[in-house]
Amino acid sequence: MKWREQRGVSLIELMVVVTVIAILIMLGIPSFQQWVVNTRIRSITESIQNGLRLARNQASQQDTNVRFQLNSASSWQVCVLPASAASAAAETDCSNALSIVQTFNSPGSGSNVQVGASTAVNSVATGAYGTIVSGGVPTGITFNSLGRPSAYGTTSMLRVDVTAAQASLQVQAAGRRLVTTISAGGMVNMCDPYFTFSATSPQGCP
Residue 97: CB atoms within 10 A of its CB come to 19
> What tens-digit pLDDT sequence spans the chain (206 residues)?
555 555 666 777 778 778 877 777 666 566 777 778 888 888 889 999 999 999 999 999 998 889 999 888 778 999 998 876 566 556 667 877 788 888 888 765 556 788 888 887 765 554 444 455 556 777 889 998 898 988 887 778 888 888 887 665 554 445 678 889 898 889 998 888 777 777 777 777 76
Strand partners, 179: 161, 191
pTM exceeding the 0.85 threshold for the entire prediction: no
35-157-54 Cα angle (round to 5): 75
d(CA 98, CA 78): 11
Cα separations in angstroms, 104 against 24, 44, 65, 152: 39, 11, 19, 25
| C-alpha 89 chain-centroid distance | 27
Counting every residue, how long is the chain?
A: 206
Q: Where are the domains of the chain?
A: 11-205
172-137-125 Cα angle (round to 5): 45
Of 91, 92, 124, 106, the C-alpha closest to 48 is: 106
For domain 11-205, which CATH number applies: 3.30.1540.10, 3.60.21.10, 3.55.40.10, 3.30.565.10? 3.55.40.10
